């Protein structure tokens, strides 16, 4: 290292010596060959043109130069602030211009590689696919695979996930990025994603669905955070969820036959009522054969009286499709459920009554509730 440093120093000294000696020789020979100019200010050379006079230089020429300087100074004074004001817009337009070019190139890539499965505009389509045995590569079946719509892909995934799917593929879609073995470079993948942003159109219904899913996810995350902070609430939360699911199932089972039985306004039917009443010689027109009344909420008992069985109480007075009430009887840690449906007691008069066949019909539902 010392030798290298000495060699560099010696080379520098040699170069400096050559430059200094050369400059000294140049000055010496220049002074030696120089001679006094004869008549430099007395007479002019034959080919020399006389310049402007002092009067013209100090008036016309000087005023013209000053005017030009004033114009340039005013242009700079006005142009620099205007350029400064327009700079943000210029940068924004430059960015949008780059995005427009990327979207145009991405559209060309989409038409060449993606359109045959996802259809023009990315509205979704069907992609033919051949299933083969991974072990021996033999043909299994020819199927049509549903290609999802890409007009909402940026709301279902973020850009990182979309880039990963394009690079490595997903399902039957092959990889497109070079990092995953595909033909597209990173720049082409970016251009394709830029084009996908321009075709996003989920509409009001889709936007509401996305917002609902986001709120559902936020609620679930908040609930999970609370359960993590207080593990004792996990069992309580599971019990509440199980109770809600059981009640929903019971209400659905009770509501289904009730709705099917009393949905029609003409419950008896005029012809059926005429045949029934004429057996005993009564006039069918004397009776009211209209269907049961639709129960009004929140207090249907003001409309139709309840003949409730012993020990049973209405549950929040909630009507089942406006055609019945849900009754509950608690015995220690067990619960029994019944449905009170409208029954004709007198002509033109209806009451809510828990029918015996309802109890037998929902025995399995009650048993599952009691087992909990």
User: Terminus-to-terminus CA distance in the chain, angstroms?
Assistant: 88
Position 258 confidence tier, pLDDT thresholds 50, 70, 90: very low
Handedness of CA 51, 52, 58, 62 (dihedral sign): negative
364 and 304 in a common domain = yes
Residue 295 lies in a domain: yes
C-alpha 209/C-alpha 187 separation (Å) is 33
Residue 371 in tokens: 């087992």
The confidence score (pLDDT) of residue 310 equals: 59
149 and 255 in a common domain = no
Residue 182 lies in a domain: yes
- Residues contacting residue 286 through CB under 8 Å, at least 6 positions apart: 277, 347
The confidence score (pLDDT) of residue 357 equals: 40
Residue 178 lies in a domain: yes
The confidence score (pLDDT) of residue 241 equals: 74
C-alpha 166/C-alpha 175 separation (Å) is 6
363 and 248 in a common domain = yes
User: How many beta carbons lie within 10 A of that of residue 236, not counting itself?
Assistant: 11
Query: Could you tell me which residues are beta bridge partners of residue 343?
Result: 351
* Chain centre to alpha carbon of residue 34: 86
Q: What is the CATH number of the domain that holds 111?
A: 1.10.760.10
pLDDT digit string, tens, across residues 306-346? 656 655 666 544 444 445 566 666 655 556 666 666 666 65
The confidence score (pLDDT) of residue 36 equals: 58
Instruction: Give me the chain's average pLDDT, please.
Output: 73
pLDDT digit string, tens, across residues 283-312? 444 444 455 555 555 556 555 666 566 556
Helices (H), the chain: 2-33, 54-56, 62-113, 115-118, 153-156, 159-168, 186-198, 203-229, 233-262, 270-278, 356-361, 363-371
Nearest Cα neighbor of 196 from 140, 158, 223, 253 is 158
C-alpha 258/C-alpha 318 separation (Å) is 14
C-alpha 264/C-alpha 266 separation (Å) is 5
269 and 176 in a common domain = no
Q: Which residues of 108-140 are buried (b: 16+ CB within 10 A; e: fewer)?
A: ebbeebbeebbeeebeebeeebeeeeeeeeeee
The confidence score (pLDDT) of residue 181 equals: 92
147 and 256 in a common domain = no
Residue 128 lies in a domain: yes
The confidence score (pLDDT) of residue 48 equals: 74
Residue 25 in tokens: 């020789």
- Residues contacting residue 366 through CB under 8 Å, at least 6 positions apart: 250, 335, 336, 337, 359
C-alpha 162/C-alpha 155 separation (Å) is 11
Cis status, amide bond into 298, omega within 30 of 0: yes
Q: Is the pLDDT of residue 74 over 90?
A: yes
253 and 162 in a common domain = no
C-alpha 102/C-alpha 195 separation (Å) is 7
Residue 124 lies in a domain: yes
**Count of structural domains within the chain:** 2
Q: Is the pLDDT of residue 238 over 60?
A: yes
The angle subtended at Cα 290 by Cα 287 and Cα 296, nearest 5°, is 130
Query: What CA dihedral angle connects 141, 144, 145 and 151, to 10 degrees?
Result: 170
Q: Is 319 left (phi over 0), alpha (psi -120 to 50) or beta?
A: beta
- Higher-pLDDT residue of 136, 1: 136
Residue 118 in tokens: 């996802």
pLDDT digit string, tens, across residues 148-197? 889 888 888 889 999 999 999 988 899 999 999 999 999 999 999 999 99
Q: Is 124 left (phi over 0), alpha (psi -120 to 50) or beta?
A: left
pLDDT digit string, tens, across residues 203-219? 676 677 767 777 777 77
- Residues contacting residue 181 through CB under 8 Å, at least 6 positions apart: 175
Position 232 confidence tier, pLDDT thresholds 50, 70, 90: low
266 and 187 in a common domain = no
Position 58 confidence tier, pLDDT thresholds 50, 70, 90: confident
Query: Could you tell me which residues are beta bridge partners of residue 146?
Result: 126
Residue 236 lies in a domain: no
The confidence score (pLDDT) of residue 352 equals: 62
190 and 279 in a common domain = no
359 and 268 in a common domain = yes
Position 362 confidence tier, pLDDT thresholds 50, 70, 90: very low
Handedness of CA 238, 244, 245, 247 (dihedral sign): positive
The confidence score (pLDDT) of residue 255 equals: 53
- Higher-pLDDT residue of 351, 120: 120
Range of the domain at 159: 100-198
């Amino acid at each position: 290292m010392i030798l290298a440093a000495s060699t560099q120093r010696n080379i520098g000294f040699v170069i400096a010596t050559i430059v200094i000696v050369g400059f000294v020789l140049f000055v010496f020979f220049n002074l030696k060959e120089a001679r006094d100019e004869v008549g430099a200010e007395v007479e002019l050379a034959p080919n020399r043109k006389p310049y402007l006079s002092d009067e013209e230089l100090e008036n016309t020429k000087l005023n013209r130069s000053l005017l030009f300087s004033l114009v340039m100074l005013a242009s700079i004074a006005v142009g620099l602030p205007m350029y400064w004001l327009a700079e943000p817009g210029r940068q924004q337009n430059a960015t949008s211009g780059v995005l427009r070019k990327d979207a145009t190139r991405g559209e060309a890539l989409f038409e060449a590689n993606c359109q045959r499965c996802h259809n023009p505009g990315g509205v979704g389509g069907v992609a033919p696919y051949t299933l083969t045995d991974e072990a021996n590569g033999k043909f299994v079946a020819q199927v049509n695979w549903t290609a999802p719509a890409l007009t909402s892909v940026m709301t279902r995934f973020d850009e990182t996930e979309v880039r990963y799917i394009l690079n490595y593929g997903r399902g039957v879609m092959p990889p497109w990025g070079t990092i995953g073995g595909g033909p597209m470079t990173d720049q082409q993948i970016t251009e394709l994603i830029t084009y996908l942003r321009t075709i996003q159109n989920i509409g009001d219904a889709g936007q509401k669905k996305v917002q609902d899913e986001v709120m559902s996810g936020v609620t679930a995350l908040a609930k999970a955070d609370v359960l993590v902070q207080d593990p004792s609430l996990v069992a309580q939360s599971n019990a509440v969820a199980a109770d809600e699911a059981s009640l929903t199932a019971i209400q659905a089972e009770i509501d289904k036959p009730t709705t099917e039985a009393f949905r029609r306004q003409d419950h008896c039917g005029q012809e059926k009522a005429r045949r029934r009443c004429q057996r005993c010689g009564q006039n069918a027109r004397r009776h009211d054969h209209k269907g049961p009344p639709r129960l009004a909420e929140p207090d249907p008992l003001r409309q139709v009286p309840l003949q409730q069985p012993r020990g049973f109480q209405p549950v929040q007075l909630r009507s089942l499709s406006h055609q019945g009430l849900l009754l509950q009887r608690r015995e220690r840690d067990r619960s029994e459920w019944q449905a009170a449906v409208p029954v004709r007691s007198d002509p033109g008069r209806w009451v809510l009554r828990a029918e015996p066949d309802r109890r037998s019909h929902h025995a399995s539902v009650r048993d599952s509730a009691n087992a909990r």
